[in-house]
Amino acid sequence: MIRRIKLPGWIVIILLLAGIIFGINQVVAKVLAESPEPNEPNEKIVDSSVYPGLNIKTKTKETDLYTLSVSQPYTDNEQINKSINEWVDKQKKEFTSSIKESKNMLEENDFRAHLNIQAETEKIADKIYTLEFEAYQITGGANGMTKMKSFVIDLNQNKLLQLDDVFQLNEESIKNIQKLIMKELHSNQKISFYIFDDLAKEALKDPDKWKWSVGRDKVTFYFDEYEISAGAAGAIKAKIPMEKIKPYLNEKFAKKIDVKIPEKENSKEEEQHSEDKVKLDPDGKYVALTFDDGPHPDVTLRILETLKKHDAKATFFMLGSQVEYYPSLANKVEEAGHEIGNHTTNHQDLSILGLNKIKGEVQKSSRIIEKATGQKPTLLRPPYGAWNDSVKQVAKQMGVPMVMWSVDSLDWKSRNAAAVNEKVMSNVAPGSIVLLHDIHPSTADALPQLLTSLEKQGYQMVTVSQLLELWDGKGAGPFYGKIG
């Protein structure tokens, strides 16, 4: 017989249930807060890429547990986008699952996990592109994990090219391609010692499982870290020269890529532009607005228009991966008299990279920016503001000061124009360096009112270099600016 529960007992049960529900809600809220953010709704993208029909979007996120940076090319064809998005989303899902498993370890060791997905693009014929993805994640331990994936896109047909679109798949061709790959693996002295032949042959056994891409002068086959070798070899690329593999290509495809389309010369003016070297008054009220992660084909243009109306100068810390897609936009920023700084190539956390990889991230971005604008960037902002002695050493060797910020608008978090303005105006002071991003439409929405408010308080908008000159700032830094 079940004893009748009296009123006090019911109260206790209700309170217990309420506590359980509250706890579940808290857990769900935390997971949602730490999940990669969705795409912004109704975002307008103007096709101004140097790759016709192909654009790129770089998304970044930072939490107490992890940092994330994803470069994601996309087209006007939903089916092509779907295949790319599915692979990228799979990497994100695996990453967030790993974070949940290692959450306690991350917190105990005061270590943030990191996911970086970068995409290299190569045009191999008219509207035919190869996208080479590399996903690196580290959620603890000494080493991270690298995975690779490629997509070959023919926008003339609006399709992802499959194996039989590119290669002859008769038995003889498959065997010969397998031999070429094995020969290449063993001829590479850096990795041959680590290769396990039985694993390599197993990975090549089924052509449907090959990971491959086509370039103008080579075909590349990819193997994930640990797939065919010891971990010391890392992720592996076997590059077969086109002359060797050409006999095994699909005849129609071979004709397409053999047609040599002359590269269009960059018709931009060689005339160099730079911000006016105006001597600043030591007693003046100056603030440096800085914009990270661009250029963006819509947002950057809106920001340039607003800055022009207010006769304001700013500093844009650009990603090499974005400039590669939108060189004309980077050039517009420079032509308008604004300053361009280096934000690395792929927005990786430099503090967890080795010295050579740090140099590569910074130097490659610098070359891309200089090619697009005619100006070599003279400032460096490490992604996430993360730096260590190795990053400082690279900055010193390259002669580029590291520039941080003293006022964070949190525009990446709020995505709200009013919130951005309130955050900046409540913290700004003479000599402040303000962090903004020219990839969020809400930031462009906020800028007109923000500039008006700053002007009413007597501020003049200048570049970071002008502030550093005023402070007599020298060396590698880092430089943070004044706090209100």
Q: 437, 438, 440, 445: which is the annotated catalytic residue?
A: 437
SS3 of residue 292 by DSSP: strand
- Residue 226 corresponds to which tokens in the numbers above? 């640990």
**Alpha-carbon gap, residue 383 to 412, rounded angstroms:** 14
Give the amino acid at 132. E
- 312 close to 335: Cβ distance less than 8 angstroms: no
Nearest to 340 by CA among 373, 315, 305: 315
Task: State phi, psi for 381 to the nearest 5 degrees.
Answer: -120, 110
Report the half-sphere exposure of 68 (CA within 13 A, side-chain side). 23
Measure the CA–CA gap between 421 and 243, rounded to whole angstroms.
58
305 close to 351: Cβ distance less than 8 angstroms: no
Instruction: Supply φ then ψ for residue 133, to 5 degrees.
Output: -100, 140
CA distance 199 to 376: 46
Burial group, residue 4, by CB count within 10 angstroms (0-12, 13-18, 19+): exposed
Q: Which of 292, 298, 438, 445 is catalytic?
A: 292
Known active-site residue 440: no
298 labelled catalytic = no
- Reading the block at residue 328, the tokens are 């004309």
Which residues are catalytic, by number? 292, 437
